[in-house]
Amino acid sequence: MTQAQSRDKLASFLKGYTRKPSREPGCIFWVFSTAVVLSVFCGIWVFKSYQEAQAYNRLTGANVTTWDALWVELRVQEGPK
């Protein structure tokens, strides 16, 4: 077998394993749709945490940031009357 024949045989073998890029509009639609939905949910989560931190600061006089409110459940407990 010559070098050209072996190269052709290898090329034909690898031709079945090459992946052609997908340019289907449906794939692009789902990627962007998923990104938009995740962005909306993250935006709502951050906005609710911001409101929670502001309410906690207003009620307790503490200095709590939105970052704290994202990860910690802030509670205002009633003291003895």
**pLDDT tens, residue by residue, 20-68:** 666 667 788 888 999 999 999 999 999 999 999 999 999 999 999 999 9
With respect to residue 4, please indicate whether it lies within any of the assigned structural domains: no
In the chain, how many domains are there?
A: 1
- Domain span holding position 50: 25-81
The pTM score is 0.62
| Cα 44 to Cα 41: distance, rounded to the nearest angstrom | 5
pLDDT band at 4 (very low <50, low <70, confident <90, very high): confident
Is residue 63 in some structural domain?
Answer: yes
- Separation of alpha carbons 80 and 15, rounded Å: 78
Instruction: Tell me whether residue 30 is in a domain.
Output: yes
Q: Which pLDDT score, from 0 to 100, does residue 76 have? A: 80
Residue 7 lies in a domain: no
Residue 18 lies in a domain: no
Q: Is residue 62 part of a domain?
A: yes
DSSP 21: P
Give φ, ψ of 35 to 5 degrees: -65, -40
Tell how far CA 23 is from the center of its chain. 23
15 assigned to some structural domain: no
Is there a domain that residue 12 lies in?
A: no
